Homo-oligomer: A and B are copies of this chain.
């Protein structure tokens, strides 16, 4: 099977992590990068050893796949502008239904991971969720996914939507909790690295037991003195920190009773 010829649209954090990883496998030929952000687009094209283009009209007709690494809100319109292209259109969004793609050969290739520009990702353990009504296209995407990851899932848009919202809690909201804890320690000139081991162990603990069983701390042990002490301390910080403390402590107690 010859390598698929792929055009990339977008040059954000996901694009800068995923496509170089795919490029390194040698199983894919990137042919063009299109990006509104010229500097990032050129940087990505240089890594992928392909040309950078500046409009949809320039997309090669012979491309097999046009990969959309763009904000969710742009997928529908962008794909409709490409509806006559004979290749496939693939998006990489967790929250977006495959039906948003206005094209006869749609697919989804969603890596379940948090991406930053500066921290390079080892894809081996990153779940990649793929979906397509076309079995041929699905096979191509499966091969690509398996060339970088050991965890490839065939999931429909409905399942992916629930995974995505669960990921917001597990990743984005956990990270907010880390941020609040850094704020609290910063305010007392205490080095936040003192929490790093605890944070790591908390994340690893739920790989061995359900989170419900792993819960510890003043809320779950109904230690009302400590809860009160903490609420008093939090009056020094933004009011919302107190609200978050109360709401989450209540939820821990509710979940414990269920």
Question: Once bound together, how far apart are the Cα atoms of A168 and B207, in whole Å?
Answer: 20
Q: Is A198 an interface residue (CB 8 A)?
A: yes
> In whole Å, how far is A152's beta carbon from the nearest beta carbon of chain B?
11
* Contact B255 A247, beta carbon cutoff 8 Å: no
Chain B residues whose CB sits within 8 angstroms of the CB of A187 once the complex forms? 162
Which of B95, B200, B223, B252 touches A73 (beta carbons < 8 Å)? B223
Question: Once bound together, how far apart are the Cα atoms of A187 and B178, in whole Å?
Answer: 27
Segment of A21-29, A107-115, A137-145 engaged in the interface with chain B:
A107-115
Chain A residues 217 to 256 lying within 8 A of chain B, measured CB to CB, are: 217-221, 223, 225-226, 229-230, 233-234, 238, 240, 243-245, 247-248, 250-252, 254-255
> In whole Å, how far is A99's beta carbon from the nearest beta carbon of chain B?
14
Which of B166, B184, B199, B223 touches A171 (beta carbons < 8 Å)? B199
Tell whether A195 pairs with B221 under 8 Å between CB atoms, given A174-B178, A229-B95.
no
Interface bits A167-192 vs B (CB < 8 Å: 1, else 0): 11111111111111110110110101
Segment of A46-54, A61-69, A208-216 engaged in the interface with chain B:
A208-216
Chain B residues whose CB sits within 8 angstroms of the CB of A217 once the complex forms? 114, 167-168, 171-172
Q: Is A135 an interface residue (CB 8 A)?
A: no
Q: Which of chain B's residues has its CB closest to A123's CB?
A: B197
* Contact A204 B200, beta carbon cutoff 8 Å: yes
Chain B residues whose CB sits within 8 angstroms of the CB of A161 once the complex forms? 229, 233
* Contact A218 B166, beta carbon cutoff 8 Å: no
* Contact B208 A200, beta carbon cutoff 8 Å: no
- Beyond contacts A71-B221, A175-B211: 13 other A-B pairs, Cβ-Cβ < 8 A, are A95-B230, A119-B209, A159-B190, A162-B184, A165-B233, A166-B181, A168-B219, A170-B178, A170-B198, A172-B216, A179-B211, A179-B212, A240-B254
Residues of A within 8 A of B (CB): 13, 71-73, 95, 112-116, 118-119, 121, 125-127, 151, 153, 158-159, 161-163, 165-182, 184-185, 187-188, 190, 192-221, 223, 225-226, 229-230, 233-234, 238, 240, 243-245, 247-248, 250-252, 254-255
21 A–B contacts, CB within 8 A, in A order: A112-B198, A114-B216, A116-B209, A116-B214, A158-B188, A163-B185, A163-B194, A165-B184, A166-B181, A166-B190, A166-B192, A167-B198, A169-B245, A170-B181, A170-B198, A172-B215, A172-B252, A174-B174, A176-B215, A238-B254, A244-B247
